[in-house]
Amino acid sequence: MQDIFSYIDDHAEEYLESLFVACRQPSISSQNVGIREMAHLVNDMFTNVGLKSEILETENHPLVYAESEGYDSVKTLTCYNHYDVQPPEPLDEWLSEPFSPEIRDGRIYARGVADNKGNIIARLSAIDAWLKVRGTLPVKMKFIVDGEEEIGSPNLKFFPDMYPDKLATDGILWEGGSKDVGGPVHVSLGVKGMLYVEMRVRTAASDLHSSNAAIVDNPAWILVRALNTLKDADGNIMINGFNDKVVPETDLERHYLEKMFFDEKATLEFFGIEKFLDGVSGYELKRRNLFAPTCNIAGIVAGYTGEGAKTVLPGSALVKMDLRLVPNQDPEEILSLLRNHLDRHGFENIELVVHSTAHPFKTSPDHPLASSVIKCAKTVYGTEPIVYVNCSGTSPIYSLCKKTGIGAVQVGVANEDCRAHAPNENIFVQDYIDGIKLIAAVMDDFSRV
Amino acid sequence: MQDIFSYIDDHAEEYLESLFVACRQPSISSQNVGIREMAHLVNDMFTNVGLKSEILETENHPLVYAESEGYDSVKTLTCYNHYDVQPPEPLDEWLSEPFSPEIRDGRIYARGVADNKGNIIARLSAIDAWLKVRGTLPVKMKFIVDGEEEIGSPNLKFFPDMYPDKLATDGILWEGGSKDVGGPVHVSLGVKGMLYVEMRVRTAASDLHSSNAAIVDNPAWILVRALNTLKDADGNIMINGFNDKVVPETDLERHYLEKMFFDEKATLEFFGIEKFLDGVSGYELKRRNLFAPTCNIAGIVAGYTGEGAKTVLPGSALVKMDLRLVPNQDPEEILSLLRNHLDRHGFENIELVVHSTAHPFKTSPDHPLASSVIKCAKTVYGTEPIVYVNCSGTSPIYSLCKKTGIGAVQVGVANEDCRAHAPNENIFVQDYIDGIKLIAAVMDDFSRV
């Protein structure tokens, strides 16, 4: 691999310029700004490197699909990425223009450079280096580049049924992934699922004067009573059947969880808290973070919430909840359990409105692609990666992988303080170059495992 | 009294014009608009009728105090009123200018005409009619006219200690009071007290990503658990000691409560609800409304409450509560019970912030002023008044009456649909004229009971 690594170092300027080109094109999915231009740009960049690329229309923003052709290979490696970005606002907090990438103190600043253009172009550059140095690729490469990731990937779930041949692969490199600043890269092998649901209760036609509180029911009290049945005093989720399908961690996952580094002190400081929930630490803290399902109040509101006092009897109340799910919990099934639970406790008058669902998905650490990425990360970075056998967060991996059970691994070029979705989004130049090398190495290693 | 009633009818135009003069002067206490001009206007109007009037400075808006002099009398009757009004906004919903009173369809429209200038000027006009017809007054009359009622009467509580001689009286006609449209007038003999308190809990320095919900405590859940200890499943208030000092209704109060008309059907329709709390009706409904203390959630908020979904773990949560108190509950004592309750249940981390307190206060139906008003109302209106032996609402009566135990009776000229505090505030011309007669009659009757 040394010849390819040297080539990447020698052509760092060229690969940086490709990334700059991608970052100069705005592609804000939620505002429909520059989306079609960006899809064409990605399509052209893929074609120029030698891939067979095409734009696949959806009901909204198009996908870009590309694959390598004409090289012998027994295995296929797919990259799932997205070319859309978050809006750059608030603009006045940017130190340089969001769509004019600029290097300062070893970091590249631009909207989308971390999430997710750095990874698209690093992966594409790895292919370019292979072809330039060896004239061939060790694996068949595929790209599925979403144009709607930042708005919830509403059309991605149709891909498996519409394009089964394009989906066929031996493993997927998922879009994200992060890295400690100056420290180890993270390799993530799973995500929690989610049921995001609103509980609404209306009692009166509108807010009333609170002098009526002795004779008119209060929807906020109804919500408080209902919420209180969802958890016991120790915080255990009491929805009947909620935990029935949860599968325990495997021995191998426990092994990785035990050796996983988690900086408790820095995390407490960052959160501005004195201790973690229930005072847990060590293994149990890490286990809960990655493997415990949650039932979170993301928002609650009723009545008067401004400054000072107003004597209101609310006419309606609502709570927004996100329930993070772990294998093998099914969000639709959990919704039905929640409905049954509320009805059984006499809360038939609480309406449930679902905002989004996502299935959990995880890949075993002994999946060939996971093994390859873990091994190559150590080679390229010189230190063991931190392996997350599952994540606390959510991503629509299941929507691509559910039918085939293909493994998916997250690894990428973004530093922990990359400020994705925020002003002054950035990645380190060095992490970008190392990221190209990592993908080049994985292509080689994965072809042989 | 017929001579005085006839005089009032004959001089209706003149008394209406006095009311118009008062309504033309803006006097918005919360915006400090026209306050001093209004205090001087009231002072001048009192003086012109023949009272000895003066402006009493406070730390903020002045009071106007007036009393009759030079007429023999053994008894004193005091009117508590206020010359300040609510802001007129939203202006575009007014059909005529808020400070240009106008008569349409038998109603006078103006900001403050119902709350509370109609009552000030009706009471003053009754004095004028007595003096014009009889050349004397049957009772010594006093006026305490607040300039801060619409901002919570913060300085009224100092009046008893600063002006004990001015406070001395045999009974107080309180500022408000209402009347069914085309139906009986209401005579109210008590008010609930209030503790308005905010419960605040902060866990993290700011809102966090909800993927941390498995390891970071959620202040909204803390609040839900704490709130749930305040009431049992049947809605009974469980704060230890909360009900200890509540005094039961007297036989006389029960008698009035039994015969009190309460239009359940119209109230349900107006509130837009199908049944009252716990399905109560009849006597128990009326009893709860007037005599049951409450623990109301006036507002609750945490995390994301906008449209759609946002995966937030709130850093703080708050609930605004108004607890309506009945004789002899003391708001400061209830606050201390609440603090003890939360501490005993492990919620030492919940901060309590008090916004306002008010003591309950009630006057017995056999108090001479109450008897007089009830009797005269029947004479003037031709129908029995509806006697509220207590109210569901709150008013700072206790702050004037606590030391002396003077009785206070609410009766006034505002119709039930008078739109106090809202655009197109109004009273009926006929109710205004009848209101003048009622006060004239009460002065006479009260002098003899």
**Rounded-to-integer distance, Cα B193 and Cα B293, Å:** 9
- The residues, any chain, with a CB within 8 Å of residue A68's CB and separated by 6 or more, are A50, A51, A52, A127, A137, A140, A141, A142
**Minimal Cβ distance to B297: which of A212, A221, A228:** A221
Q: What ipTM was estimated for this complex?
A: 0.89
**Minimal Cβ distance to A296: which of B218, B308, B391:** B218
pLDDT at residue A72 is higher than 80: no
Q: Which 328-357 residues of chain A touch chain B by CB within 8 A?
A: 355-356
Question: Do A370 and A341 belong to one domain?
Answer: no
Question: Do B63 and B87 belong to one domain?
Answer: yes
Q: Rounded to a whole number, what is the distance in angstroms from the first to the last CA of chain B? A: 16
Q: b/e for B280-299, b at 16 or more Cβ within 10 A?
A: beeeebbbbbbbbbbbbbbb
CATH number at residue B91: 3.40.630.10
pLDDT at residue A402 is higher than 90: no
Q: Is the CB of residue A394 less than 8 Å away from at least one CB of chain B?
A: yes
A311 min Cα distance to partner chain B (Å) = 6
What pLDDT does B89 receive?
Answer: 87
Q: Is the CB of residue B266 less than 8 Å away from at least one CB of chain A?
A: no
Record: contact A296-B231, CB cut-off 8 A: no
**pTM value?**
0.89
Question: Do A310 and A430 belong to one domain?
Answer: no
Name chain A contacts of B235, Cβ cutoff 8 Å: 221
Q: Is residue B260 part of a domain?
A: no
**Minimal Cβ distance to B213: which of A304, A319, A324:** A324
Nearest CA in chain B to A394: B211
Task: Single out the residue in B330, B357, B384 at which a domain terminates.
Answer: B357
Question: Do B110 and B180 belong to one domain?
Answer: yes
Q: Is residue B261 part of a domain?
A: no
Record: contact A298-B304, CB cut-off 8 A: yes
What pLDDT does A205 receive?
Answer: 87
Name chain A contacts of B296, Cβ cutoff 8 Å: 210, 213, 218, 311, 313
Q: Which 227-256 residues of chain A touch chain B by CB within 8 A?
A: 227-228, 231, 233, 235
CATH number at residue A224: 3.30.70.360
Name chain A contacts of B324, Cβ cutoff 8 Å: 210-211, 213-214
Chain center to CA of B155: 16
pLDDT at residue A403 is higher than 80: no
**Rounded-to-integer distance, Cα A373 and Cα A411, Å:** 8
Q: Is residue B35 part of a domain?
A: yes
Name chain B contacts of A298, Cβ cutoff 8 Å: 210, 303-304, 309-314
The angle formed by the CA atoms of residues A433, A437 and A441, to the nearest 5 degrees, is 170
What pLDDT does A71 receive?
Answer: 81
Question: Do A324 and A419 belong to one domain?
Answer: no
Q: Coil, helix or strand for A221?
A: helix
Question: Do A441 and A308 belong to one domain?
Answer: no
pLDDT at residue A74 is higher than 90: no
Q: Which domain holds residue B79?
A: 2-191+360-448
What is the residue-wise DSSP string for A328-359? T--HHHHHHHHHHHHHHTT-TT-EEEEEEEE-
Q: Is the CB of residue A392 less than 8 Å away from at least one CB of chain B?
A: yes
Residues forming a β-bridge with B443:
none
Q: Is residue A256 part of a domain?
A: no
Q: Testing the interface with A: which of B194, B197, B210, B225 to mutate, by most A Cβ within 10 A?
A: B210
Record: contact B211-A300, CB cut-off 8 A: no
Q: Is residue A423 part of a domain?
A: yes
H helices present in B308-428, as ranges: 331-344, 368-381, 397-401
Closest CA to B211 of A48, A347, A131, A196: A196
Record: contact B311-A322, CB cut-off 8 A: yes
Record: contact B302-A297, CB cut-off 8 A: yes
Is there a contact between A448 and A170 (Cβ–Cβ < 8 Å)? no
Residue A152 pLDDT class (50, 70, 90 cuts): confident
Q: Is residue A288 part of a domain?
A: no
Q: Is the CB of residue A196 less than 8 Å away from at least one CB of chain B?
A: yes
> Which regions in chain B score pLDDT beneath 50?
none
Question: Do B155 and B229 belong to one domain?
Answer: no
What pLDDT does A37 receive?
Answer: 98
Name chain A contacts of B356, Cβ cutoff 8 Å: 309
**Rounded-to-integer distance, Cα B449 and Cα B437, Å:** 18
Question: Do B393 and B348 belong to one domain?
Answer: no
Q: Is the CB of residue A304 less than 8 Å away from at least one CB of chain B?
A: yes
- CA dihedral in degrees (A308, A310, A313, A316; nearest 10)? -60
What pLDDT does B402 receive?
Answer: 80
Question: Do B52 and B177 belong to one domain?
Answer: yes
Record: contact B228-A233, CB cut-off 8 A: no
What pLDDT does B309 receive?
Answer: 87
Q: Is residue B152 part of a domain?
A: yes
Backbone angles phi, psi at A430, to 5 degrees: -65, -40
What pLDDT does B159 receive?
Answer: 95
Q: Is residue B280 part of a domain?
A: no
What pLDDT does B301 receive?
Answer: 98
Question: Do A315 and A367 belong to one domain?
Answer: no
Q: Is the CB of residue A303 less than 8 Å away from at least one CB of chain B?
A: yes
Task: Single out the residue in A358, A387, A406 at which a domain terminates.
Answer: A358
Question: Do A307 and A404 belong to one domain?
Answer: no
Question: Do A90 and A214 belong to one domain?
Answer: no
Task: Single out the residue in A358, A385, A405 at which a domain terminates.
Answer: A358
H helices present in B141-195, as ranges: 159-162, 164-167
pLDDT at residue A396 is higher than 90: no
What pLDDT does B350 receive?
Answer: 98
What pLDDT does B404 receive?
Answer: 75
Q: b/e for A87-120, b at 16 or more Cβ within 10 A?
A: bbeeeeebeeebbebeeeeebbbbbbbbbbbbbb
* Number of structural domains found in chain B: 2
Query: Could you say which DSSP state residue B113 is in?
Result: I
Record: contact B298-A285, CB cut-off 8 A: no
Closest CA to A203 of B297, B302, B261: B297
